[in-house]
Structure 1
Amino acid sequence: MELNIKEIFTAFMVLFAVIDIIGNIPIVIDLRKKVGHIQSEKASIISGVIMILFLFLGQNILSLIGIGVNSFAVAGAFILFFIALEMILGITLYKQDEHTAMTASVFPLAFPLIAGPGSLTTLLSLRAEFRIENIIVAVVLNVIIIFIVLKTSAKIERVLGPNGIDIIRKIFGVILLAIAVKLFAHNIKELFELA
């Protein structure tokens, strides 16, 4: 086992930007108003389990359908690119279905809001570049932050205000855009070398 602080930090930042739990605070508050209560522990643990399972099984699932990790990482770079555009430009490219049931802690909060297509694709893209134990540590750190944010979402919204949340979203959007470009460039090069 070889833990690398730089890899952990980079993987953590990528996942943090993709999950965008700070930017999702308005959605979390809206869900809380609709259903009365969100089980922060349940939502955090389930999203963490989904992400770690996908980290281990995602590659096998891809092998079954004959797709390489590099191809998936390039596709992931496109998803990250569009998520970043949404964050920077304040537009919505992906429409979330509305759910008002008491299952809000799991659906849509744990999946697909936290452990959604963006974060799952990102995990496999990261796996193409980083050691798995570093990614797991990054996932666990993100789950801890998700739990803290879910628990204190109303306070965070009061402190930051709509403008503060908007600024944070845009900053992470730019970081994510740069990561998407790097991911694309690295994996497209690998694909051409394999071809």
Structure 2
Amino acid sequence: MEFNFSQILSTSMILFAIIDILGAIPIVIELRKKAGHIESEKATLVATVLMILFLFAGESLLKIINLDVASFAIAGSMVIFVIALEMVLGLTIFKEGDAPETVSIVPLAFPLIAGAGTMTTLLSLKTEYATQNIIVGIMINMMFVYFVLKNTERLEKLFGKSGLNVLRKAFGIILLAIAIKLFRNNTGL
């Protein structure tokens, strides 16, 4: 088991872009207003466990339903592409339901942090990077997610609406490139 700094950096950046916790600050603030407060520790822990479980069991789950990782990665690249279009163009294609009482788990930990795009990305990353490097990338991101959840109001004031919008669009463009790379790598184009 050998750690590779380049792979850790790549997986961290890809997960950072797909999780987009900075872009989700307005959603987190709205959830906090509806629920009264958010349990940052619980949301971070649940999202981390979900991601690591899917990293290890996701491929087996796919085999049970007779799908290969490349097909899942191609489908995932399309989901990532649509999410990126939402970010860049300011569209809302994926709709979230009403926030229930347990906002720290649903919809914050799942599907906002560890949603379909994140799960798809994890399996796609597994086709290119060593598992231990992906886990380190997950942990780095979850530390950052925890920090953001704990300091959402301060970050909103720091970046302002315009700054958050610029970050969201910049990471949207990065996600577009990631989606295209995943598609090309898994189709042989």
TM-score > 0.5 by shorter chain = yes
For 1:138, the equivalent position in structure 2 comes to 137
Partner of 1:62: 62
Report how many aligned residue pairs link the two structures.
189
Q: Give the letter for the 1:81 counterpart.
A: F
In the alignment, which residue of structure 2 is the partner of 1:129? 128
TM-score, with length taken from structure 2? 0.98
Q: Which runs of 5+ in 2 are unaligned?
A: none
1:100, CA displacement in angstroms? 3.7
Q: Distance in 2 between matches of 1:119 and 1:145?
A: 15
Paired residue for 2:30?
Answer: 30
Match of 2:71 in 1: 71
Q: What residue in structure 2 maps to residue 83 of structure 1?
A: 83
What does 1:98-177 correspond to in 2, within 5 Å?
98-101=98-101, 103-177=102-176
TM-score, normalised on structure 1?
A: 0.95
Give, as a single letter, the amino acid of the residue that structure 1 aligns with 2:121. Answer: T
SS of equivalent to 1:34: helix
Show structure 1 runs of 4+ deviating over 4 A: none
Contact 2:76 / 2:117 at 8 angstroms: preserved in 1? yes
Q: Is the 8 A contact 1:22 1:165 kept in 2?
A: yes
The 3-state SS of whatever aligns with 2:103 is helix
Consecutive unaligned residues of structure 1, counting only runs of 5 or more, are none
Instruction: Give CA deviations for 1:56-76 in whole Å, capped at 9, x if unaligned.
Output: 000000011110001110111
Is the CA contact (8 Å cut-off) linking 1:31 and 1:100 kept in structure 2?
A: no
Q: C-alpha distance in 1, partners of 2:157/2:100?
A: 24
Contact persistence 1:48–1:143 (CA under 8 A):
yes
